[in-house]
Structure 1
Amino acid sequence: MGTTDDGVVLDLDGHEVTISSPDKVFFDARGETKLDLVRYYEAVAEPLLAAMGGRPVLLQRYPNGASGSNFFQKRVPKNAPTWLTTTTVSTVNGTTSEALVAADVAHVAWAVNLGCLGFHVWPLRADDPDHADELRLDLDPQPGTDFDLARAAARELRALLEELGLTGYPKTTGKRGIHVYVRLEPRWDSYQVRHAAVAVARELERRRPDLLTAAWWKEERGQRIFVDYNQNAPHKTVFGAWCVRARPGGQVSTPFAWEELDDIDPDELTIASVPARVAEQGDPWAQMYAQPQSLAPLLAMHERDRAEGLLDAPWPPVYPKMPDEPPRVAPSRAKQPD
């Protein structure tokens, strides 16, 4: 590590990355700085890159740290280093931009220097944009629920996947929820993966309507855990594993083993504690990468639902209207029959 008038210079993966204002406090609870955040990502580099290496990432920048204002940035700035790896990504309306690819820790550190605390990750690799190789099942606590209910929801999801011969791999979201991932063989596109997520959400709601909901409209969810199937919609990103949230304590979206579900405390998993956890326990998702799985059992469940007359589930408002989607209006605002 060297120093210049502009900050400190790190040699990472054969690249020199300048960290300006390295002592700027990014996390208020313990006073961790921008440089501390870079060092965190260095410490967890192996599992981090196993999770998001080679994938496009969306930057959410907090120039003044976790407690400051933020903005999203999809495009890599024109003055970026020539060694950065980028790839072309699209929005739902077809607008393209050059996004950062998480090629190595140097790329991560470069983004952290811009004030990026964590990364929102595409469910595909830059070298295979036509296939989504991750199903991401988001168990999203609604008002009036807590992490204990998210645990219970995760147990139901695990049981369903196991019945279908599939293995899910959980992580904390870094907030109140739980994400469960299924790494897929690269054979299906994002529309098919979303179909599978819709089928999972609906089946979980059938089994435990007291606990889980597939309702897109907030007014229908109640005090239940929402299975957010639209996190798998085309061009959608999800907050990445091992990435750091914009919270004063620097909480990390942390993969964990199912055996830890009863004891895991998302607030205790921070940039201060997670490196030691990784050093001691390794990567709980390692097996997921070694054994990609088939989406076929979930697509069969989707086809069953459609054969029984169910329409597509509602899409987010930024997406074009789909052919067999129900009316895109909240039930309370729908026109009542005369």
Structure 2
Amino acid sequence: MAKGDDVEVLDVAGHSVRITNPGKVFFPERGETKLDLARYYLAVAEPLLAAMGGRPLLLQRFPNGVGGPSFYQKRVAPTKADPWLTTARVSTPNGTPSDALVAVDLAHVLWAVNMGCLGFHVWPNTAADPEHADELRIDLDPGPGVSFAMIREGAAETKALLDELSVACFPKTTGNRGIHIYARLQPRWDGYTVRAAAVALARELERRRPDLLTAAWWKEERGERVFIDFNQNAPHKTVFGAWCVRANPHGQVSTPFSWDELAGVEPRELTLANVPARLAEQGNPWAAMTPQSLEPLLALHERDMADGLMDAPWPPVYPKMPNEPPRVAPSRARKEPEPH
């Protein structure tokens, strides 16, 4: 590590990464700085790169730290100062292309940290194989009236179903109020197919626990239930990365944990101040993650289609899809006059 006038240079992965204004406070609750954030990522480098290495990233930047203005950065280009930056061509749902930063190594992560990145949103495919989504990402979303105890219970129900299907799954806190559950996949299916499997999973969970879980896309139909957000698996959709620090005052981390910890995990207690020590003591809870087949979930999808179910609604930024129901809230549809 080299020091200069308000600059620290970190030698990482064969590159010299500058951390400018290293003493700038990013997290006001305890006063952690930009350099503290860089040191956090150095401490969790191995599991971080196991989770997102080689994947394109959408950067959420807060140049002045938590509480300041923020914006999303989709496009990155190598600079004269950093010609080693690696990018990959990605596209938005409407087909707009951009060159996204790729998490090739920790130097790329720390370059983004220096740019004020307090949110790494990770693509479900590697840059080397953009045609195949190799992760199923189950987002247990807490709407109004949903407690974290309900999220925990929903996670347990999700694991029980995936255990029945012999699909190994791994949980993490979202860094906010929810839980994400991941299953690493063989790179055989595109994002449309993975989303179809997620829809089938959500519907089956709702059948089993309609009091607790819902696959209803329209908020007015959910009630006080945990929403299984299948559309987090839509093509071109990014999800907040494992081991990544959220932009809140206390630096909450989206933290992988073991299923044995589910009953006691408290998201707000997992921060950049204590997650490195937790990792050193307990190891990586996702270490056993290996690629597996999506076919057991696709069998649920095929059963639903054979029973005459339509596709679930897509987010509005996506084009209209085959077999998709009308994109109108049920209450609004009831108010529209019938054609004569």
Q: Which of the five TM-score ranges fits, normalised by the shorter chain?
A: over 0.9
Task: Please name the residue that 2:47 is paired with.
Answer: 47
Runs of 4+ in 1 over 3 A off after TM superposition: 77-80
The residue type equivalent to 2:321 in the other structure is M
Task: Please name the residue that 2:101 is paired with.
Answer: 100
Deviations 1:246-295 (A, max 9, x none): 1111000000000000011110100001000111111110101xx31100
Contact 1:249 1:270 survives alignment (8 Å): yes
Task: Please name the residue that 1:223 is paired with.
Answer: 224
Task: Please name the residue that 2:29 is paired with.
Answer: 29
Deviations 1:6-45 (A, max 9, x none): 5111111111111111101000110000000000000000
Task: Please name the residue that 1:196 is paired with.
Answer: 197
SS of corresponding position for 2:171: strand
Take 2:193 and 2:77, find their aligned partners in 1: how far apart are those partners?
33
TM-score normalised to the size of structure 2? 0.97
Task: Please name the residue that 2:244 is paired with.
Answer: 243
The residue type equivalent to 1:306 in the other structure is M
Task: Please name the residue that 1:292 is paired with.
Answer: 291
Give the percent of matched residue pairs that are identical in Structure 1 and Structure 2. Answer: 71
The residue type equivalent to 1:87 in the other structure is A
Shift of 1:110: 0.4
SS of corresponding position for 1:286: coil
Shift of 1:96: 1.0
Take 2:14 and 2:168, find their aligned partners in 1: how far apart are those partners?
37
Contact 2:77 2:99 survives alignment (8 Å): no
Number of residues of Structure 1 aligned to a counterpart in Structure 2: 336
Indicate how the Cα distance of structure 1 residues 36 and 130 shifts in structure 2: closer, same or farther if over 3 A, else same.
Answer: same
Contact 1:6 1:18 survives alignment (8 Å): no
Task: Please name the residue that 2:118 is paired with.
Answer: 117
Contact 2:78 2:86 survives alignment (8 Å): no
Which aligned pairs between 1:1-338 and structure 2 lie closer than 5 A? Answer: 1-5=1-5, 7-77=7-77, 79=79, 81-288=82-289, 291-334=290-333, 335-337=336-338
SS of corresponding position for 2:288: helix
Take 1:115 and 1:260, find their aligned partners in 2: how far apart are those partners?
32
Shift of 1:89: 0.5
Take 2:337 and 2:208, find their aligned partners in 1: how far apart are those partners?
30
The residue type equivalent to 1:257 in the other structure is S
Shift of 1:3: 2.1
Contact 2:77 2:85 survives alignment (8 Å): no
Shift of 1:118: 2.6
Shift of 1:337: 3.6
SS of corresponding position for 1:103: coil
The residue type equivalent to 2:328 in the other structure is V
The residue type equivalent to 2:229 in the other structure is D
Take 2:228 and 2:48, find their aligned partners in 1: how far apart are those partners?
25
Deviations 1:66-91 (A, max 9, x none): 22221101100463621011111111
Indicate how the Cα distance of structure 1 residues 180 and 336 shifts in structure 2: closer, same or farther if over 3 A, else same.
Answer: farther
Take 1:24 and 1:6, find their aligned partners in 2: how far apart are those partners?
10
Contact 2:87 2:101 survives alignment (8 Å): yes
Contact 2:63 2:70 survives alignment (8 Å): yes
The farther-off stretch of 186-195 and 69-78 is: 69-78
For structure 2, which runs of at least 5 residues remain unmatched after alignment?
none
